[in-house]
Structure 1
Amino acid sequence: MIKLFRKIRFKLITKNKTKKPTLQSGKYFKYAFGEIILVVIGILIALQINNWNESRKQREKEIVILLALKKGLESDLKTEFVEGIIFFNESKVALENLSGFYNNTKTIPNDSLRKYIRRSLGGEWDFIFNTATFENLKASGIDVISNDSLRSKISSLYSDKYPELKGRSNRVLRFYENQVCPILFDNINLFDSIFSKNDLDNLKNNRQLTNRTKALSATRAGLFSLANNIKPKVESLINDIDTELERN
């Protein structure tokens, strides 16, 4: 860049638009000052180009991270929230039917009773989120996300909301595995095609089993109430990331 300025200056000198100064003419200092100005301009332009390149690289890095976050959030939304809430709604209906059976307010055929048992007590939902991109982002510096509002929402979801939901999910899962399963398997034969009279009596009269089933229903309801509150935040964050990506 400096060479270019000097070439232009040289052409001006050769065309007598600018005379080459001499010590005797007293114009040497003016010439030297011009050289300094050229050097300063060249340095400033070089710095500006360097800053622009660094900003471009930083933006490219940010876009890669945002795309990875969006992909993970979309996966969480589909496989954890949507499918998890479907699981909860189905198990809730099954537990309501079992409660009617326990309380003698509903007559349920033997084969339907087995279906309700399996749907409500045959397993528990475990929320597993895609957090690898955020963990890498934290390690490398979350400030790469230039939008302050977006950066705050990302941090809030991954540092607060997800851990809260995962913690409650773990508590429900531990209760199911440690309190419900042992009582269930010790008192009910889940592998016969129909329940025996003894199984039916245990279902209705076993206080440990009925109390734990009701407690599981309550803790599970709290879990999925929280999931229903966090789901819109995930959807909103995906939209915010799309908006930021469109800024290019």
Structure 2
Amino acid sequence: MISFLRKIRQKLLSENRFTRYLIYALGEIALVMVGILLALQVNTWNETRKDKKKEAAFLNQIHNEFTDNKAQFESLRALHSKSLESCDWMLENQPFTSVSIDSLRYHSLWSRVSYTFDPSYSSIESLVNSGAIDLIQDVDLRNALIGWKDLLVDYLEEEKEMREFTTAHVIPFTLENFKLYNEEERFDAVLNFDQKQLNKYLNLIARKKRILQAILYGFVEQDLGGNTQSEVQKVVSTMDLIIDRTKQNK
């Protein structure tokens, strides 16, 4: 009987040691797992912090760039409008027999000038080319940045047409018919144009007017949602969105 009790006691002691060892081992494993999870979490926090810092730097650069782009765009639109007004004046006042030479000089010059929008978007190119575009958390902003280059190409088609038209037709006509004296064009030469010269001159101005109208007002298109916007309005609304969504990082 005593021998039997001793065996039971030894078995219980053995089982208690095993239980304590098992608990200790599980505790060690749990501590290791907690340590690993904490290390992973800290690493995730650090990576997130770095990404946020990079995003803030990109957004700040984009904000500065597009603020300048918007200012340039508005200045150019004012110049385009001024040129369009002069085209209207030239067409309405031909054959210029009853206008002042000063007015003719002013509007003849402004009806023939050509300007183009040349925005900077190096910040977007850097963002896309480096594969860091996913750092931008704002989905609408990210889509606007990705689509900016294509939108700009569409808008600049008319300005490119105007530049090519000016180079191919307006400048050659000017050099041939507005003789230069002492580095200043003789704008009053138009008063001595024969009918063929006058018609060609007015056709140039009329064509320039149509191009300017396309630049200033664009062609209205309807999107899938039924909204209508011209290319000009798309450019303006996209720049406004980009400027607005990045300004909090200033």
2:200 partner amino acid: Q
Mapped partners of 1:155, 1:204: distance in 2: 52
CA deviation vs aligned residue, 1:95-153 (integer Å, no higher than 9, x gap):
1111112266x8321121011111221x2111101111111111112111112121112
1:91-240 to 2 correspondences below 5 Å? 91-102=83-94, 107-121=98-112, 123-141=113-131, 142-156=133-147, 158-189=148-179, 191=181, 192=184, 195-196=187-188, 198-202=189-193, 205-206=196-197, 207-226=199-218, 228-229=232-233, 230-240=235-245
Mapped partners of 1:168, 1:178: distance in 2: 15
CA contact (8 A) 1:101 1:108 kept: yes
TM-score by structure 1 length?
Answer: 0.80
CA contact (8 A) 2:115 2:163 kept: yes
Change (3 A) 1:40 1:210: same
**Displacement after TM superposition at 1:166 (Å):** 2.4
**Displacement after TM superposition at 1:228 (Å):** 4.1
The residue number in structure 2 matching 1:25 is: 17
Aligned residues: 219
CA contact (8 A) 1:203 1:209 kept: no
TM-score by structure 2 length?
Answer: 0.79
CA deviation vs aligned residue, 1:192-225 (integer Å, no higher than 9, x gap):
57544x5323287522222121111111210122
Mapped partners of 1:152, 1:167: distance in 2: 22
Question: RCO (CA 8 Å, sep 6+): is it higher in 1 or 2?
Answer: 2
CA deviation vs aligned residue, 1:213-242 (integer Å, no higher than 9, x gap):
111111121012247422233123211222
Structure with greater Cα Rg? 2
Which consecutive unaligned segments of at least 5 residues does structure 1 have? 1-21
Change (3 A) 1:72 1:204: farther
CA contact (8 A) 1:98 1:116 kept: yes
1:235-246 to 2 correspondences below 5 Å? 235-242=240-247, 245=249
**Displacement after TM superposition at 1:182 (Å):** 0.5
The residue number in structure 2 matching 1:7 is: none
CA contact (8 A) 1:62 1:145 kept: yes
Mapped partners of 1:172, 1:193: distance in 2: 22
Mapped partners of 1:204, 1:177: distance in 2: 24
| Residue 40 (structure 1) aligned with residue 45 (structure 2) | no
CA deviation vs aligned residue, 1:45-100 (integer Å, no higher than 9, x gap):
00001001101100110111111111111001112x11101101111111111111
2:240 partner amino acid: E
Change (3 A) 1:147 1:193: closer
1:70 aligned to which of 63, 71, 77: 63
Over the matched positions of the two proteins, sequence identity in percent amounts to: 23
